[in-house]
Amino acid sequence: MLNDLKQQPADALLALIKLHNSDPRADKIDLGVGVYRTGQGDTPVFGAIKAAEAKLVAEQDSKAYLGPEGDMGFVEALMPYIFGKQDPAMGGRIEGMQTPGGTGSLRLALAMVKRAGYNRVIVGKPSWPNHNQICADLGLEVFEFNHAAADGSTDMDALRGALGQAQAGDAILLHGCCHNPTGIDYTNAEWDEIAGLILDSKVLPILDLAYQGLGQGMEEDAYGVRRVLAAVPEALVCYSCDKNFGLYRDRVGALYAMVADPADLTRVMSNGHALARANWSQPPDHGAAAVRLVLADEALTAQWLDEVAEMCERMRQVRATLAAAGKTGGVDLTPIGSQNGMFSIIPFTPEQVQEMRSKHGVYFAASGRIAVAGLTAANIDKFIAAVADVTA
């Protein structure tokens, strides 16, 4: 019977890690999976996290189970950053739970949606490939709309059209900030409109906030989530600490549910707890405990915010350098300058993607998505020359 299983392709994004590692060229460039790199090309552990981890080792007196909801101190400490300092629980309407990374949060959110009787998820195209993959695995239909218009802004007409055609039993999955893979985000005015469209269409919003602080800033990047939540009766928010706490492999995330009536919250969240138990029982503790210790300490919080701001600034500088290159070979790099977060798409053909790898040792997704933080003062000129070469 096991022998009947069909061969599955390796995850295309994660496969890039091995592909890049196995290239012997010293001047190869990794613009594949979304990890931040410093100007020296490193992905160090945050200073604030290192300090919190030292505290954790010194102070943690037990590793006994916490329960399917994980570390609620961590879950609650994040809430003012996501939902605003004024009333982070929105009058008792929001509660969360810890999950293994943003992927764990999305998995739970979509499984809850399925349990609640939704059968279709409206998703922009392109999106992070795992969005559609999780929907498919759960038997949720995906209804796609075009995310980016030809002029490089968001395709609001396509979104309006998708919501106009929404049916009972539809949810919509939107990127809160730093759209992955395009870097093309909704403006605040667009979020204002989207909030009303979601309310009118009665679809359930699922907001994926995986890059807070890496677009325009911590507060600015929360605008869309807060705006939608202020308008609608119910929502799910999927949060990742992979990038903005640099905790990638420690798998740190959270799922938040907002309901109309606080009296329903315990019942709704009990579904998240039951699904977690059936999937992974309880989330890994270490990274979330470190985040809790950072957020409980004023000095460590300030240090963490500085570290996030520095990442954001460095990626802005890389974007500015690419944009300054303007028309390069057959592509225009200018739009990258006004896009946000870790990723942008350069419209390479499949052959050009292969040539970038084989001829120049530059690795990025087949979609043409580049992780901008992989570019440094030491390699950006080589990258731009390679783009000019293969697209000429």
Active site residues: 128, 208, 243
Can you give the chain as a three-state secondary structure string? Answer: CHHHCCCCCCCHHHHHHHHHHCCCCCCCEECCCCCCCCCCCCCCCCHHHHHHHHHHHHHCCCCCCCCCCCCHHHHHHHHHHHHCCCCCCCCCCEEEEEECHHHHHHHHHHHHHHHCCCCEEEEEECCCHHHHHHHHHHCCEEEEEECECCCCCECHHHHHHHHHCCCCCEEEEEECCCCCCCCCCCCHHHHHHHHHHHHHHCCEEEEEECCCCCCCCCCHHHHHHHHHHHHCCCEEEEEECCCCCCCHHHCCEEEEEECCCHHHHHHHHHHHHHHHHHHCCCCCCHHHHHHHHHHCCHHHHHHHHHHHHHHHHHHHHHHHHHHHHCEECCEECHHHHHCCCCEEECCCCHHHHHHHHHHHCEECCCCCEEEHHHCCCCCHHHHHHHHHHHHC
User: Position of tokens 């300092």?
Assistant: 85
- The sign one gets for the Cα dihedral 175, 192, 212, 381 is positive
Q: Which is nearer to ligand LMR, 118 or 348 (CB)?
A: 348
Q: Which is nearer to ligand LMR, 33 or 184 (CB)?
A: 33
Task: Please state the closest distance from residue 182 (CB atom) to ligand LMR, in A.
Answer: 12
- Establish if 372 lies at the interface with ligand LMR (CB under 6 A): no
Q: How many residues bind ligand LMR (CB under 6 A)?
A: 5
What is the rounded CA–CA span in Å between residue 237 and residue 90? 14
Q: Which is nearer to ligand LMR, 197 or 311 (CB)?
A: 311
Out of 33, 195, 204, 295, point to the residue binding ligand LMR (CB under 6 A): 33
Task: Please state the closest distance from residue 242 (CB atom) to ligand LMR, in A.
Answer: 7
Which residue number places its CB atom closest to ligand LMR? 34
- Establish if 239 lies at the interface with ligand LMR (CB under 6 A): no
- Establish if 13 lies at the interface with ligand LMR (CB under 6 A): yes
- Establish if 315 lies at the interface with ligand LMR (CB under 6 A): no
Task: Please state the closest distance from residue 306 (CB atom) to ligand LMR, in A.
Answer: 24
- Establish if 34 lies at the interface with ligand LMR (CB under 6 A): yes
Task: Please state the closest distance from residue 227 (CB atom) to ligand LMR, in A.
Answer: 24
Q: Which is nearer to ligand LMR, 120 or 251 (CB)?
A: 251
Task: Please state the closest distance from residue 240 (CB atom) to ligand LMR, in A.
Answer: 8
Q: Which is nearer to ligand LMR, 259 or 356 (CB)?
A: 356
Q: Which is nearer to ligand LMR, 13 or 113 (CB)?
A: 13
Task: Please state the closest distance from residue 33 (CB atom) to ligand LMR, in A.
Answer: 4
Closest CA to 392 of 321, 325, 327, 320: 327
Q: Which is nearer to ligand LMR, 33 or 135 (CB)?
A: 33
Task: Please state the closest distance from residue 34 (CB atom) to ligand LMR, in A.
Answer: 3
Out of 180, 212, 344, 352, point to the residue binding ligand LMR (CB under 6 A): 180
Out of 83, 118, 128, 383, point to the residue binding ligand LMR (CB under 6 A): 128
Cβ distance 284 to 251 under 8 Å?
Answer: yes
User: Position of tokens 């998703």?
Assistant: 123
The residues of the shown chain that bind ligand LMR, judged by CB under 6 A, are: 13, 33-34, 128, 180
